[in-house]
Structure 1
Amino acid sequence: MPDAQVLHVTRDDTSHRYEVSVDGETAGFIDFIEGDGTLAMTHTEVFEAFRGTSAARTLAADALADVAARGLAVIPLCPYIARYLSRNEVADLEVLWPERS
């Protein structure tokens, strides 16, 4: 049985993104724009070498849990984050769904 991978999610306020690393190597990110009591998630990307792993799911779960812990409402502009939220509950997270035209 192969060793389990170590995934770690961090928030980088300078770059306005959450990043996920797998065994110490950057595997992907979520870009965000923070506003007055809100955090809009605009883009999620997981690098090709890490697709098919749990990196994207872990990144979304941990980032959204952090948004909830900060008392912010999330605006899911990124399709991946919107899909994640439509399938998963995040405790204490307020979701402000963007209007569709």
Structure 2
Amino acid sequence: MADLKVTRNDEAARYELRMSDETRTDTLAGFAAFEQGSGRVRFTSTEIDPAFRGQGLGETLASEALADVARRGDTIVPLCPFIASYLRENEVAGAIVEWPDGTPLDSATQGEPPA
């Protein structure tokens, strides 16, 4: 059974998903890159190592990273298609989302961004 842990690495400007088990110690399985400024966290890309794809790790990474941004009180700007898709399909408690077209959407209103 693998242990999963998502941590924020400010130096690398990304959230990292690491897994460890009896055969792999602290392996980087994926990351969500971001840019931060003016109270906004702009997610630019999400990558899962090909060796770990198909296990739902992208959803785990997105869930933990977005929850952390919401706890910090920053606004999420989903430039990454994976993060945008995750936000359209899942609620993130306390999240404030600013879609790239500039339309704000808080997590209480799920679904497609307003027209």
- Please give the range of the TM-score, normalised by the shorter of the 2 chains: over 0.9
Structure 1: gaps spanning 5 or more residues? none
Structure with bigger RCO (C-alpha 8 Å, 6+ apart): 1
TM-score, structure 2 normalization = 0.81
Structure 2: gaps spanning 5 or more residues? 21-25, 103-115
Equivalent AA in structure 2 for residue 14 of structure 1: E
Equivalent AA in structure 1 for residue 53 of structure 2: R
Aligned counterpart in structure 2 of residue 14 of structure 1, from 4, 11, 29? 11
User: What secondary structure, in the 3-state scheme, does the structure 1 residue paired with 2:93 have?
Assistant: coil
- Alignment map for 1:13-92 (pairs within 5 Å): 13-23=10-20, 24-92=26-94
Answer with 1 or 2: which has the greater Rg: 2
Alpha-carbon shift at residue 54 of structure 1 (Å): 2.4
Q: For the aligned residues, what is the CA RMSD?
A: 1.1
| Count of aligned pairs between the two proteins | 97
Aligned 8 A contact 1:10 1:18 in 2: yes
Equivalent AA in structure 1 for residue 34 of structure 2: F
Alpha-carbon shift at residue 22 of structure 1 (Å): 1.6
State the Cα deviation string for residues 46-81 of structure 1 (Å, max 9, x = none).
000000112111100000000000000000000000
Equivalent AA in structure 2 for residue 68 of structure 1: A
TM-score, structure 1 normalization = 0.92
Runs of 4+ in 1 over 4 A off after TM superposition: none
Identity percentage of aligned residues: 48
Aligned 8 A contact 1:22 1:55 in 2: no
Partner Cα separation in structure 2 for residue 11 and residue 55 of structure 1: 16
